[in-house]
Amino acid sequence: MAKKSLLEDLNIEKIPAHIAIIMDGNGRWAKKRALPRVIGHEYGVKSVKNITEAAAEIGVKFLTLYTFSTENWNRPKFEVNAIMTLLVRTIRKEVATLQKNNIRLKTIGDIKALPADAYNQILEAIELTKDNTRMDLILALNYSARWDIVQATQALSEKVKEGIISSSDINEELISRALHTGKFPEPELLIRTSGEYRLSNFMLWEMAYGEFYFTDAYWPEFDKECLYKAIFDYQKRERRFGKTSEQIQENTNV
């Protein structure tokens, strides 16, 4: 008898609209196998494909992947180049798959500072997929949450300086909208792989009420069943947004 998939246990009505993932552990996955780190990244791309496909299949509307942080520039030059090459190659190869599956590519982060070939390839794929409606695949590239908060603050200060808004108009909504992430709803669920329990400068503002899920699986090992397990775990939780459990029960009973 075929092994039961956790997909059967999911409540399809309660799939998080936005899932964000810190894809971690490519290097350690490779090291465990005495392989170079970049091979770990290559296998990481397989997980990107599997998880993008699985997310779209179950009705996730936004999938954000922490692909390259502002801090990742500090890695050895060889590794940074390898990740950029992989990025360009993958987007070039997979843009047709995105089209076929009605998935729109988006980014957050300062992509202008990426190498020119990566920047151009990304812009081309964004343009080509811009009318797709099934799911947004959002790559966080040259992104960090503090960078985003700084650029949002600068943008709002400019508006104050130009007299478009006054400083007392600045509220949570304006800040949220000025962030690169402001075009998307906040993630309900953030997953981090590889047994690390940190945010690593990712979505600091957006995760104020979001749920966290940590797994020991390295990113190249994170498959569709792992995603279903994370969502299953999320669905068992009660999201209270500062209210009491009784208030939440009352609201769901009306």
Residue 195, Cα to own-chain centre: how many angstroms? 18
Chain mean position to CA 214: 14
Tokens found for residue 125? 């794929």
Give the nearest distance from C-beta 26 to ligand FPP in angstroms.
4
The SS3 call for residue 180 is helix
The answer for 86, left when phi > 0, alpha when psi is -120 to 50, beta otherwise, is alpha
CB-wise, 94 or 156, nearer to ligand FPP?
94
Phi and psi at 61, nearest 5°, equal -100, -25
Give the nearer residue to ligand FPP in terms of CB position, either 48 or 207.
Answer: 48
The nearest distance, CB 139 to ligand FPP, in angstroms, is 5
Q: How far is the CB of 159 from ligand FPP (least distance, A)?
A: 33
Please answer whether residues 204 and 149 qualify as being in contact, where contact means their C-beta atoms are separated by less than 8 angstroms: yes
- Which residue's CB is nearer to ligand FPP, number 83 or number 230? 83
Q: H helices within the chain, ranges in order?
A: 26-32, 37-58, 77-100, 116-128, 145-161, 172-178, 224-235, 245-253
Which of 206, 211, 209, 210 minimizes the C-alpha distance to 234? 211
In the complex, the smallest distance separating the C-beta of residue 125 from ligand FPP, rounded to whole angstroms, is 10
Smallest CA-to-CA distance from 20 within 210, 182, 247 is with: 210
- Dig out the tokens for 173 from the structure: 């909504």
Residue with tokens 């990481």: 44
| Sites of contact with ligand FPP (CB under 6 A) | 23-28, 41, 44-45, 48, 65, 67, 72, 83, 86-87, 90, 139, 194, 219
Which of the residues are catalytic?
Answer: 24, 72
In angstroms, what is the minimal distance from the CB of 225 to ligand FPP?
A: 19
Q: Closer to ligand FPP at the Cβ: 99 or 153? A: 99
Identify which of residues 105 and 189 has a Cβ nearer to ligand FPP in the complex: 105
Which three-class secondary structure state does DSSP give residue 54?
helix
